[in-house]
């Protein structure tokens, strides 16, 4: 880099950095720096959502915790806007910002299993697949999300739903400790015993409290194979099927986790050719109990009506974790929103079915995740994450490739979510559009926990250095 670098200040103005400032930072790093014009810059500024096209002022490729602390202190001391990138999969694209300094953890993906303690430690840039590859061959698993390329950090910091959540809780319910670089550049350990207020806040409060350089999770046994139901029902029977899905899941054992997925039938040989691309309701479910019982336990989900196709099989859990990876490529255009459903009555189901039929893009989905089980047994005050009592999560995912249809797709997702609002409460911050609702979104997500979160924020980040996120600002 030669000359000056123009960056965005913390308050949205401009900061000029001299070459000597950057040299001083670079000298102390084990990782490296990327700036506009650097040959690796363009690839590094891109995140998973192709809609996001930000041009950071500087990207700090961290190799270790000391690099993270140096980058935090540099941003603070030079009054530069700061973003933190874990897996880069945040739908709102908050990992990058125009003119910002990005703390990029993509080089910190190490994972270490302690079989004796039944824990696994993942660095702050690890992807779900990194954890799965280290744990599944040992017959152990952490409850994570449903697509293996998602970042562990973002997913965990806002909760973390997946195929094991009804059995073992949210990802945060399995967090034992974390190492956090605070706004002061200090490294703190957060756990039930150390900095317990910080530990409470990072379990749902997002990246507001510091940069998490590693997460320690509790491990659970997982059978070598699980039953994985994928049953396709025609859209014109969706209302009936959804009612039966609801009734079964409201009394299903915790071993069963299911998602009702309005989508398009994929062009697979096992699906009748005339149905390829047709709108369908897919009931996807995992039974993570003993495999010898699984087929019987999930049988009702395969008989909710006459299916178009039934792709149910007994597979390694790692295959389930990767089953949807190909459907979510990097660079596609995405806009996702969500809301919790307190009930799933017929008129709500009819609304969901109608919006599924009106999808502007065949790649888009309308989803009903079943919650409950272990998620609901943790009190709302136990972690910053709130809204645990809802039995279902409604998510609308607009996914499309043609930039010319961006407006239409976003409008469809907003309409569907807006229309469902009368039946819903709260929102899941990992599927929260662009966070357009600001304060109202935070209130909806955290409920009464928001005030306590602000108090913890005031203690650990009083100047709101970590604001490139769904920002919980300290009290004025």
Q: Note the residues at the interface with ligand FAD (CB under 6 A).
A: 47-48, 84-91, 94-95, 105, 124, 145-147, 150-151, 153-155, 157, 159-162, 206-207, 211-212, 328, 430, 468-469
Q: Which two tokens stand for residue 106?
A: 């993509």
Angle at 283 between CA 233 and CA 305, to 5 degrees: 40
Q: Which two tokens stand for residue 316?
A: 């390694």
- Kindly give the residue spans of alpha helices, DSSP state H, lying in 78-211: 128-135, 152-157, 165-168, 196-202
The residue among 378, 357, 379, 377 whose CA lies nearest residue 366 is: 357
Contact 109, 127 (CB under 8 A): yes
Nearer to ligand FAD, 357 or 462 (CB): 462
Nearer to ligand FAD, 124 or 294 (CB): 124
Q: How far is the CB of 306 from ligand FAD (least distance, A)?
A: 29
Distance CA 188, CA 182 (A): 7
The position carrying tokens 């959502």 is: 49
The residue among 414, 280, 409, 396 whose CA lies nearest residue 341 is: 396
- Select the residue whose beta carbon is closest to ligand FAD and give its number: 154
Nearer to ligand FAD, 103 or 242 (CB): 103
Distance CA 188, CA 204 (A): 18
Q: Which two tokens stand for residue 118?
A: 């039944």
Q: How far is the CB of 234 from ligand FAD (least distance, A)?
A: 26
Nearer to ligand FAD, 118 or 332 (CB): 332
Nearer to ligand FAD, 85 or 109 (CB): 85
Q: How far is the CB of 345 from ligand FAD (least distance, A)?
A: 25
Q: How far is the CB of 219 from ligand FAD (least distance, A)?
A: 19
Nearer to ligand FAD, 308 or 384 (CB): 384
Distance CA 307, CA 312 (A): 12
Q: How far is the CB of 125 from ligand FAD (least distance, A)?
A: 7
Q: How far is the CB of 430 from ligand FAD (least distance, A)?
A: 4
Nearer to ligand FAD, 198 or 211 (CB): 211
Distance CA 372, CA 389 (A): 7
Q: How far is the CB of 272 from ligand FAD (least distance, A)?
A: 28
């Amino acid at each position: 880099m030669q000359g000056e670098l123009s960056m965005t200040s913390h308050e949205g103005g401009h900061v000029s950095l001299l070459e000597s400032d950057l040299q001083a930072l670079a000298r102390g790093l084990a990782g490296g720096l990327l700036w506009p014009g650097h040959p690796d810059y363009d690839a590094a500024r891109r995140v998973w959502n192709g809609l996001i096209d930000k041009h950071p002022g500087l990207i700090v490729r961290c190799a270790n915790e000391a690099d993270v602390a140096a980058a935090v202190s540099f941003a603070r001391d030079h009054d530069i806007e700061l973003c933190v990138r874990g897996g880069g999969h945040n739908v709102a694209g908050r990992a990058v910002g125009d003119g910002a300094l990005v703390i990029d953890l993509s080089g910190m993906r190490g994972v270490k299993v302690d079989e004796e303690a039944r824990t696994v430690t993942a660095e702050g840039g690890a992807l779900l697949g990194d954890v799965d590859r280290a744990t599944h061959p040992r017959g152990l698993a952490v409850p994570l999300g449903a697509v293996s390329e998602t970042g562990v950090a973002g997913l965990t910091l806002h909760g973390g739903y997946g195929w094991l959540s009804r059995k073992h809780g949210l990802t945060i319910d399995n967090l034992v400790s974390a190492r956090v670089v605070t706004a002061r550049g200090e490294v703190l350990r957060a756990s039930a015993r150390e900095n317990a207020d910080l530990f409470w806040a990072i379990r749902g409060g997002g990246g507001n409290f510091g940069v998490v350089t590693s997460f320690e999770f509790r491990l659970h046994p997982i059978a070598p194979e699980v039953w994985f139901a994928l049953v396709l029902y025609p859209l014109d029977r969706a209302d009936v099927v959804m009612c039966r899905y609801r009734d079964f899941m409201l009394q299903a054992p915790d071993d069963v986790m299911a998602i009702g997925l309005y989508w398009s039938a994929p062009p697979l040989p096992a699906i009748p050719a005339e149905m390829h691309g047709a709108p369908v309701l897919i009931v996807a479910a995992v039974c993570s109990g003993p495999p010898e019982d699984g087929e019987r336990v999930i049988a009702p989900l395969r008989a909710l009506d006459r299916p178009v196709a039934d792709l149910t099989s007994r597979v390694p859990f790692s295959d389930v974790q990767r089953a949807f990876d190909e459907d979510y490529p990097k660079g596609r255009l995405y806009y996702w929103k969500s809301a919790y459903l307190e009930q799933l009555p017929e008129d709500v189901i009819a609304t969901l079915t109608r919006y599924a039929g009106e999808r502007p893009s065949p790649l888009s989905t309308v989803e009903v995740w079943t919650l409950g089980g272990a998620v609901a047994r943790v009190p709302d005050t136990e972690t910053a994450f709130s809204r645990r009592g809802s039995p279902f999560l409604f998510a609308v995912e607009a996914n499309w490739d043609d930039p010319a249809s961006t407006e239409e797709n976003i409008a469809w997702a907003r309409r569907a979510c807006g229309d469902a609002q009368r039946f819903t409460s709260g929102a899941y911050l990992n599927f929260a559009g662009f966070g357009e609702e600001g304060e109202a979104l935070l209130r909806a997500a955290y409920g009464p926990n928001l005030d306590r979160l602000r108090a913890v924020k005031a203690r650990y980040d009083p100047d709101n250095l970590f604001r490139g996120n769904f920002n919980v600002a300290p009290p004025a």
